[in-house]
Copies of this chain bind each other. A is one copy, B any other.
Amino acid sequence: MLKTFEKLSTARQHEIIDTTAEVFAENGYHGTSIPSICERTGISVGALYKYFKNKEDIYVSVLQRGIDIIENDLYNEMPEGETIYDALNIIFNGLLPFYDNYRQYIILYIDAGTFSMNQFSYAITDRLENLASTYHIGLVDKYKATGSINPDIDSAYVAYFIDTYLTLFSYSLVSEYYRRRFDLFFGLDSSVAKNQERIEIILKSLRLLLE
């Protein structure tokens, strides 16, 4: 027999989880109360506890949904591009609409790296981390083949480099802290700088160091 929650329409399930993710993103796990989730989702306390076992189960479900989204929206296909820089351009720009729709998941993704969230690392570790390393190493290998990157360099090094910049750029999209950190290095004024501008700097940086 299906779990109660799984009997809801997929759209409704997503709506509930995405909204809940927002609340967790805004306040953190411990800072989020069950009533506040109920209020935002329009679900009664009783119903919520029919849907999920407890607060931890709610959080894990949110994290799983986040990974699903990242998997489907970000890592589903390799971008087409003449050189790896074209490809990276597409990837970085692709983050912007993702950010518009699902910024809460980027936030939770940062939270997941936090020490006090270690108890949840089991819930994301297996799937998410593999995803990024596999994807980026694949990307590098692909462009090694087309000659736009030096084939003598171990792909892992390049892939880690790219992933790192991508990760910190994602962080900067939602965290004032990471945004200021970036802007400070490159002399940008955080209150007016545009993400487009930041992407250009990053791409230039990648090019500079990879070529």
A24-57 interface mask toward B, CB cutoff 8 Å, 1 = contact, 0 = none? 0111111100000000000000000000000000
Q: Is the CB of A184 within 8 A of B130?
A: yes
**Once the chains are docked, how many angstroms separate the CA of A202 from the CA of B38?**
46
Contact among B31, B156, B204 for A30, CB-based, below 8 A: B31
**Do A129 and B180 form a contact, CB below 8 Å, given A30-B31, A114-B110?**
yes
Chain copies in the assembled complex: 4
Which A145-190 residues sit within 8 Å CB-CB of chain B?
A: 153, 156-157, 159-161, 163-165, 168, 171, 174-178, 180-182, 184-187
**Once the chains are docked, how many angstroms separate the CA of A115 from the CA of B29?**
11
Q: Residues on A close to B: CB < 8 A? A: 25-31, 107, 110-118, 121, 124-125, 129-130, 132-133, 137, 153, 156-157, 159-161, 163-165, 168, 171, 174-178, 180-182, 184-187, 204-205, 208-210
